[in-house]
Amino acid sequence: MASSSALLLLPLFLSFLSTLSASSSESDLLLTFKSSIDDPTSALSNWSPNSTTHCDWTGITCSNATSLVTSVDLHNLNLSGDISPSICRLPHLSHLNLANNFFNQLIPLQLSQCTALVTLNLSNNLLWGTLPDQIVLLSDLTALDLSRNRIAGQIPLSLGSLASLQVLNLGSNLFSGFLHPPLFRNLTQLVLLDLSQNPSLASELPQEIGSLSKLRSLLLQRSGLYGPIPRSFLGLRELKVLDLSQNNLSGKIPLGFGLASLKLATLDLSQNMLSGSFPTDVCYGKSLIELSLHDNSFTGPIPNIIEKCSRLERFQVQDNSFAGALPSGLWSLPGLKLFRAENNQFSGELPDLVGVSSRLEQVQIDNNSFTGRIPRGLGLVHTMYRFSASLNGFSGNLPENIFDSPVLSIINLSHNSLTGSIPEFSTCRKLVSLSLADNSFTGNIPPSLGHLPVLTYIDISDNSLSGKIPSELQNLKLALFNVSFNQLSGSVPPPLVSGLPASFLQGNPGLCGPGLPNPCNVPPGKRRSNTNRLIWALIVMSIAVGFMVLTAGLYVVYRLSRNKSNPCTWKSVFFYPLRITEEELLMALVEKNAIGEGAFGKVHVVQLPGGEFVAVKRLLNSSNLSFRKVKSEIKILAKARHRNLTKLLGFCYSKGTILLIFEYLRKGSLGDALRRPGFSFEWSLRLKLAIGSAQGLLYLHKDYVSQILHRNMKSNNILIGDDFEPKISDFGFDRVIGETSYKSSVASELGSYCYMPPEYGCSSKKPTEEMDVYSFGVVLLELITGRPAEQPEARETLDVVKLVRRKVNMTNGAPQILDPKISGTAQRDMLEVLELALRCTAILPEKRPSIIEVVRSLQSLEPIIYPPMCSGELLPSGQQ
Ligand SMILES: *[C@@H]1O[C@H](CO)[C@@H](O)[C@H](O)[C@H]1NC(C)=O
Ligand SMILES: *[C@@H]1O[C@H](CO)[C@@H](O)[C@H](O)[C@H]1NC(C)=O
Ligand SMILES: *[C@@H]1O[C@H](CO)[C@@H](O)[C@H](O)[C@H]1NC(C)=O
Ligand SMILES: *[C@@H]1O[C@H](CO)[C@@H](O)[C@H](O)[C@H]1NC(C)=O
Ligand SMILES: *[C@@H]1O[C@H](CO)[C@@H](O)[C@H](O)[C@H]1NC(C)=O
Ligand SMILES: *[C@@H]1O[C@H](CO)[C@@H](O)[C@H](O)[C@H]1NC(C)=O
Ligand SMILES: *[C@@H]1O[C@H](CO)[C@@H](O)[C@H](O)[C@H]1NC(C)=O
Ligand SMILES: *[C@@H]1O[C@H](CO)[C@@H](O)[C@H](O)[C@H]1NC(C)=O
Ligand SMILES: *[C@@H]1O[C@H](CO)[C@@H](O)[C@H](O)[C@H]1NC(C)=O
């Protein structure tokens, strides 16, 4: 009896044993998996042999019945190291999520042994290499997410046999080549297909995709597609989101597409080469929320049927050749927030918008042929943030309430035919930018403008405004104030003239004030101040010699020098009111004012009559570039305005020499600081200098419209401003003096070659952004090591990049490089910057990070967020 019942129990007992051993070995497997992982935040600290059951460990889920691991979810834990295949020995593992970590390796081939997997998520790591064919072994997969890695090569055809896939996301990788049609034939269960942001793909849109009838999201933006949109897309009846933007698609939208895709909420076909007319049936399903057709070649009118799109929130048709009047019902769609139709040939009048309940936030209709009045009800739309209607034929008065929206930030009505006076401003406390230039406004500048706290940009030039410039405007922190070509008169509030980067007052003969042709309260020929006397002396002199004094702009003075011993002709252009003549300036360029000598010549500090100092740099114009050419290039440099760039205030030109006048920063340069014995800036300060200079460089490379390459980035050209805000100087000098002179000047400077990338020597190489990034990397090394890179006395051992690399390669050499004067707590950050600096100074230019990446990496180490500056950057750049 007893033995038989024992026998009966045996299988049970055995299965219990096997569960026991399975679970103990499951925890071993997990520990093996953990052992190859770097876990900087100790997120896996409870994965430990002595803790009771591994089913309670972070990220582990076991099945209730068998206590076997079914899911390992370790997303977002900052893990790195190796993904060990040991995890595939967990027989029931069906979900593996390692997304949002830092795994930097090939896609582990062995993961194909995890044959029970149903979902695999490796999104947002640093995986590289190709997608292995072995992926087909995971035949039960319903979701595969490899997005946001650096996986390259063809998308393997074998992927096409994972017939259970519902989600396939390969977006934001480096896949290349053609999309083979058979790939999609068996993927009939797909609900989401995302191949977006793989710009190296080069393919037509396979018509097979149109047969994936369960698709709800199809995201193929910026993935190298060309050719037509296949008619088979009419089969995508479940589609809610279709994004084909930023490709090279051409032809027309297939007829009937809107009728077929009744559930479509987002249709983005922008930035292609599509043509034809507006898809009339796109609103048929009434589900459309976002419609983007911008940057294509569409023609014809927008049909009235658009009024049926009752849920439409975002309507973007800008940069096409649409024409005709806009359906007036479009304006009163209840949910519409974004309305962009600029750069088309639309005409007709806008509805009055009185009595409509509108949620419009942003309207941009610039550069069309609209006529009639500005809508009377515009100010009643209290959500309006931007209204921009420049370059049209609008006429009549502005409605009194136009500025009433409490969130109004940007208004641009320039280049129209508007008349009457500018209404007062009362409720729009958020106004940043006001452009009313080139209209026929009359009356005074409303003093209430001066009470708008964040107003930064005022352009009311080219109107018929009269009266005084209200003294209230002194309160504003303006980046631009253009009132040129009006009939303003009276004295200009002094802070408006002196504190402004680009104050344009020209074309108002009645204005007077210091620095202006008319001094106030002083009848010509009587009492004169020093500066005035000089200006008058000049004029009298010139007339006496018989030359016209041309004042093309207020601060532009063309003049012949009277210096007989130096028959050189000097011409000057000042971008700021410097109130100094070039003669006085030239006289001040004497030895006692010299503060240094750079590659291009001496640098002097000159005190202006007003007491301020400027730095004057002398460049040899050995290529004898013409004044006109030099002026247009320098203007480009002067217009580059950013808080991390030194301001170029003006220049003087003669045949052989160009004098550049810069703001003077008395703290000197980072190079000066580094060379001072006992240089001991704390780490946060060094980081601030690094971030600021990188931002300056970013602005030059990416944000400024005619890109400027710095070409001479080094610590000597990073000046230290107030509050240790760095300002880059000496950028783009090649433009001013021409390539040949530039190269020979740079070559003459010993020591600075340590900032030059290895490819610099190759004469065929055009200057590139990557070269600037290299030089910046050297500056980072200087900040990390606390030592200047330029050490002319020790030319042999100079190459700081090689030196650092050699030390880093020695085992554990990295910490030895760090400036010992900085306390240990900053070491981790310093090592990160070291790594960044090494990437910046990679031998191969294409291995260097972009300046955007450099700024981001540095900012991620920043301990505090600095408040945004009040400058041109404040202008929101619109919807992307
Ligand atoms: C497990 O062991 C480690 C050392 O191996 C110890 O630090 C930890 O406190 C132990 N945990 C428990 C729950 O006993
Ligand atoms: C497992 O058990 C937990 C709690 O008892 C329960 O919430 C969960 O739904 C169960 N899971 C399965 C798959 O039965
Ligand atoms: C992961 O690292 C980032 C910075 O790299 C940090 O902001 C974040 O808090 C970290 N996450 C965890 C879970 O520690
Ligand atoms: C993968 O994980 C990330 C991060 O948790 C998540 O955003 C994404 O939706 C997941 N992918 C899938 C297909 O579930
Ligand atoms: C699709 O399925 C068919 C039938 O099962 C098979 O013969 C074919 O090889 C599969 N296609 C791909 C690309 O795997
Ligand atoms: C699109 O076409 C243009 C010229 O036809 C070409 O220069 C560009 O590289 C193409 N872009 C893509 C993403 O294929
Ligand atoms: C105005 O639109 C036309 C096309 O309609 C375009 O060629 C032109 O460049 C635009 N002008 C401005 C100033 O954007
Ligand atoms: C206003 O519109 C004009 C013409 O389109 C444009 O040149 C100018 O940059 C715009 N101003 C602002 C501040 O956007
Ligand atoms: C100021 O307005 C005048 C006339 O409209 C124009 O020529 C000039 O370029 C403007 N200056 C700036 C800095 O916008």
- Span 692-714, pLDDT tens digits: 999 999 999 988 878 899 999 99
Atom index in ligand 3 nearest the CA of residue 77 equals 13
- In this prediction, residue 25 has a pLDDT band, given cuts at 50, 70 and 90, of confident
By the 10 Å C-beta count (0-12 exposed, 13-18 middle, 19+ buried), 525 is classed as exposed
Measure the CA–CA gap between 153 and 171, rounded to whole angstroms: 14
Mean pLDDT (whole number) for 565-571: 55
Q: Annotate 31-89 with DSSP letters as a single string.
A: HHHHHTEE-TT-TTTT--TTSS-GGGSTTEEE-TTT--EEEEE-TTS--EE---GGGGG
Residue 186 lies in a domain: no
Longest dimension (CA), the chain: 137
Write the secondary structure of 494-542 as one string of H (helix), E (strand) and C (coil): HHHHHCCCCEECCCCCEEECCCCCCCCCCCCCCCCCHHHHHHHHHHHHH
Q: Which residues are annotated as a binding site for ATP?
A: 617
Q: How close are the terminal C-alpha atoms of the chain, in Å? A: 82
**Do 616 and 474 fall into the same domain?**
no
Length reported for the chain:
880
> Which residue has a Cα nearest atom 4 of ligand 4?
99
Tell the residue nearest (CA) to atom 3 of ligand 4.
Answer: 99
Same-domain check for residues 627 and 502? no
The reply to whether 363 and 503 lie within a common domain is yes
Structure tokens at 89: 């020995």
Examine the domain organization and report whether 501 and 593 are in the same domain.
Answer: no
Q: How many CB atoms lie within 10 A of CB 582?
A: 23
Q: Is residue 765's pLDDT more than 80?
A: no
> Token pair of 788, please?
């200047």
CA distance 242 to 265: 8
Mean pLDDT for 665-679 is 89
Q: Which atom of ligand 1 is nearest to the CA of 50?
A: 1
Residue 652, domain member (yes or no): yes
User: Residue 538: what pLDDT?
Assistant: 42
Reported as a single tens digit per residue, the pLDDT across 849-861 is 999 999 999 988 8
Query: In this predicted model, which residue has the larger pLDDT, 647 or 528?
Result: 647
Does residue 314 fall inside a structural domain? no
Residue 447 placed within a domain? yes
Q: Are 70 and 87 in contact (CB under 8 A)?
A: no
Residue 225 · residue 204 · CB < 8 Å: yes
Contact predicate 235/211, CB 8 Å: yes
What CATH number is associated with residue 422?
3.80.10.10
**Residue 750: what pLDDT?**
60
> How many angstroms separate the CA atoms of 489 and 288, rounded?
54
For the CA of 57, the nearest ligand: 1
Residue type, 379: G
The last residue of one of the domains, among 126, 154, 181, is 126
Residues 514 and 592 in one domain: no
Pocket lining: 748 vs ligand 1, CB cutoff 6 Å: no
Q: State the pLDDT at residue 448.
A: 92
Supply φ then ψ for residue 765, to 5 degrees: -70, 125
What is the pLDDT at residue 865? 47
Q: Cα separation of 770 and 778, whole Å?
A: 13
CA atoms of 557 and 547, how far apart (whole Å): 13
pLDDT digits (tens, 9 = 90+) for 716-733: 999 999 889 999 999 999
CB 419 within 8 A of CB 445: no
On whether the CB atoms of residues 512 and 519 are closer than 8 A, the answer is yes
- Residues at CB less than 6 angstroms from ligand 8: 366, 390-391, 412, 414-415, 433, 435, 457
The last residue of a domain, from among 126, 157, 191:
126
For the chain, percent of residues with pLDDT exceeding 70: 86
Residues 657 and 736 in one domain: yes
Least confident of 83-97, 397-411, 762-776: 762-776
How many structural domains does the chain have?
Answer: 3
In a domain, 118, yes or no: yes
Nearest ligand for residue 463 CA: 9
Claim to verify: residue 594 and residue 472 sit in the same structural domain: no
Query: 382 with 482, same domain?
Result: yes
Cβ neighbours for 8, distance < 8 A, ≥ 6 positions apart: none
Confidence of residue 499 (pLDDT cuts 50, 70, 90): low
Query: Quick one: pLDDT at residue 610?
Result: 75
The rounded distance, in Å, linking the Cα atoms of 207 and 205 is 6
Q: Which long-range contacts (CB under 8 A, 24 or more apart) does 256-261 make?
A: 256/281, 257/229, 257/233, 257/281, 257/282, 258/282, 258/283, 258/284, 258/285, 259/284, 260/233, 260/234, 260/235, 260/236, 261/234, 261/236, 261/237, 261/285
Q: Is residue 586 part of a domain?
A: yes
Residue 173 lies in a domain: no
Query: Does the pLDDT value for residue 171 go beyond 90?
Result: yes
- Considering only CA atoms, which residue is closest to atom 13 of ligand 5? 160
Give the integer Cα–Cα distance in Å for 715 and 606.
23
In this structure, are strands 69-73 and 95-97 parallel, antiparallel, or unpaired? parallel
Question: 218 CB contacts (<8 Å, ≥6 apart)?
Answer: 193, 209, 236, 239, 241, 242, 243, 244
pLDDT of residue 494: 75
Q: 490 and 609 in one domain?
A: no
Confidence of residue 811 (pLDDT cuts 50, 70, 90): low
Residue 83: domain span: 18-126
User: Quick one: pLDDT band at residue 813, thresholds 50, 70, 90?
Assistant: low
Q: Answer yes or no: do 672 and 794 share one domain.
A: yes
Instruction: Flag the least confident range among 288-302, 414-428, 592-606, 685-699.
Output: 592-606
Residue 200 inside a domain? The answer is no
513, 381: one domain: yes
Mean pLDDT calculated for residue range 487-510: 74
> Which atom of ligand 4 lies closest to the CA of 143?
13
Per the CB < 8 A criterion, the answer to whether 582 and 652 are in contact is yes
Cα–Cα dist 250/523, whole Å: 69
pTM for the complete prediction?
Answer: 0.64
* Structure-model confidence comparison of residues 479 and 633, the more confident one: 633
Taking residues 371-387, what's their average pLDDT? 93
Q: Give, for 370, the enclosing helix (H) or strand (E).
A: strand 369-372
Task: State the CB neighbour count (10 A cutoff) for residue 214.
Answer: 15
Distance 482 CA to ligand 9 centre (A): 6
Q: Which of 48, 51, 53, 56 to mutate to test the pocket of ligand 1 (most atoms within 8 A of CB)?
A: 48
CA of 555 to the centre of ligand 9 (A): 14
**Rounded to 5 degrees, what angle do the CA atoms 194, 198, 201 make?**
110
- Grade residue 875 by pLDDT with cuts at 50, 70 and 90: very low
Q: Does 720 share its domain with 835?
A: yes
Q: Residue 834 carries which side chain, given as an amino acid letter?
A: L
* Among 197-211, 424-438, 599-613, the least confident range: 599-613
Between CA 745 and CA 312 the distance in angstroms is 60
pLDDT at 559 over 50: no
Tell me which residue has its CA closest to atom 11 in ligand 6. 248
Q: Please report which ligand is nearest the Cα atom of 321.
A: 7
Rounded percentage of the chain residues whose pLDDT exceeds 90: 53
**CA of 257 relative to ligand 2 center, distance in Å:** 45
Tell me the average pLDDT of the chain: 84
Q: What's the CATH number where 798 sits?
A: 1.10.510.10
Q: Whose CA is nearest to atom 8 of ligand 6?
A: 248
Model confidence at 180, pLDDT cuts 50, 70, 90, reads very high
- Any idea which ligand is nearest the CA of 245? 6
Q: What's the rounded Cα separation, in Å, for the pair 339 and 878?
A: 11
Of 126, 151, 184, the one marking the end of a domain is: 126
